[in-house]
A and B are shown apart, each in its own frame.
Chain A
Amino acid sequence: MTNTINFRLEIARADLREERTAVEVEDSCQLGEEKPISHPGGKGIATAHFVDPVTLVGVVTLAWLAERMVDHWLRSKEQGVQIDLREEPPAMSRIAGVPVGFLVIINRDGHAETHKATYDKPEALMPLLEGILATA
């Protein structure tokens, strides 16, 4: 199994600089140019955002991804993380509306699983990420 994975990331524009800074320190990780996307819908008018989020593709190591998820994304006060395995490469979203502290995985058949994020250390998330992303 390769040590790096390809994925597509969806984040708030305000978080973009922090992600790019986090990736700069890792030689084997990189993030591509961002493009604007429409905020995930399906809730009618609900909330109005100052600016639409962005998406970018990335190549990162599993270790980097696990650390970002545990130490930053899942501990963030705003939203949890959604991983959608129906897409190629898998789409990871911090703006999909996942409640804070949860990881939601949408499998290839569309079935969703929820995981309450009780990971104290990134290593605890590795087996799960390896399991789902190795087959992606």
Chain B
Amino acid sequence: MDDQVYPPEADTRLLLAAALREVRPSDRVLEIGTGSGEIAHALQASAALVVATDISPHAALAAKRRGVAVIRTDLFAGICGAFDLVVFNPPYLPTSPDDRIDDWLEYALDGGPDGRAVIERFIEEIGRVLAPHGRILLLVSSLTGIDEVREAFSRQGYVSFAVAGERIEGETLVVLRAIRDLCAR
């Protein structure tokens, strides 16, 4: 595979397993930052529609070659319409400006100084493309601050809880499931 494309790793597998448990046959699914297309490809047989995005031309091409309906854009900037399930394995590693390597793979990894730069932007804006009863599956790491991400969801009117977790070398990976807090309205 193209070395500018994030290959399926432990985080991919954890999120994929959670997504396969979550997906329903009638779902319209959006995967953001699909990378190699591993998750979107695997969900295609289980959902009504699966669409994926990636900002990287290398990733978009890799996913496309696996038969994924992929759109090259920033998060979901060029996407409209309501999705029942949104799946995102975001760049979550805290990265200082000195650590930056400035290539396409960096978009898959670099979460800004606290690891949450992209995640917080995602949480602020995702309501635009999420169906009223839509569900979000977001992978986060203990390096990112799991409680802080849950607080960010809460501030934007979502309830979230962990539906999967795995301890790997030096960090704990968690899949958060978030839905709109309909009681809070």
Q: Do A and B bind each other?
A: no
**Which B residues fall within an 8 A CB radius of A?**
none
